[in-house]
Copies of this chain bind each other. A is one copy, B any other.
Amino acid sequence: MVTKSDRLNDRELRAWRGFLTMQDDVRRHMNRQLTSEAGISLAEFSILSALRLQPDRPMRVFELVDTLKWEKSRIIHQLSRMVRRGLVERRASEEDGRGTDIALTAEGRGVIDKALPLHIDHIRRLFFDVVTPRQLDMLADLSEAVLENLEGEPFDQ
């Protein structure tokens, strides 16, 4: 049973503030590295690398939603911006008259192929170089526990 109280204790506060700050800073660093070395944002990187996982076929919008776990509308807006920049293409799906296939353009493929190794180098230096294997596994466990817990919560989906 968990002790309830109207404030966080020192241990909780340390972890929580550290987590929030770290996660915010890490995102900002990733964004800046990608912008300056590959000319794309972290959001664009996320979409492009999801598409790169299925190199030889386009993906449906809902597959991107499932892969990235973003809100549908967030994905769709991001795709619209990326279509404008020529990184991806929309095509009517052949299987489902309501559906849209999303495909990498040649430029999108070029960009992600260049960005991926640079980004992996970056997050290695940023993150993995100072995190022990034990911490890594604990973070994975913790993340999965929290994610699973989230599904039962109000304000979900």
Residues in A lying within 8 Å of B, measured CB to CB: 2, 4, 6-8, 11-12, 14-16, 18-19, 21-26, 28-29, 32-33, 36, 69-71, 117, 120-121, 123-131, 133-150, 153-156
Contact = CB atoms under 8 A, between A and B. Distances in A.
Given A25-B69, A138-B135, A124 B2 contact: yes
B155 A21 contact: no
A123 B36 CA distance: 35
- Copies of this chain present in the complex amount to 2
A143 B15 contact: yes
B7 A120 contact: yes
Contacts of A6: 117, 120
A17 B69 CA distance: 11
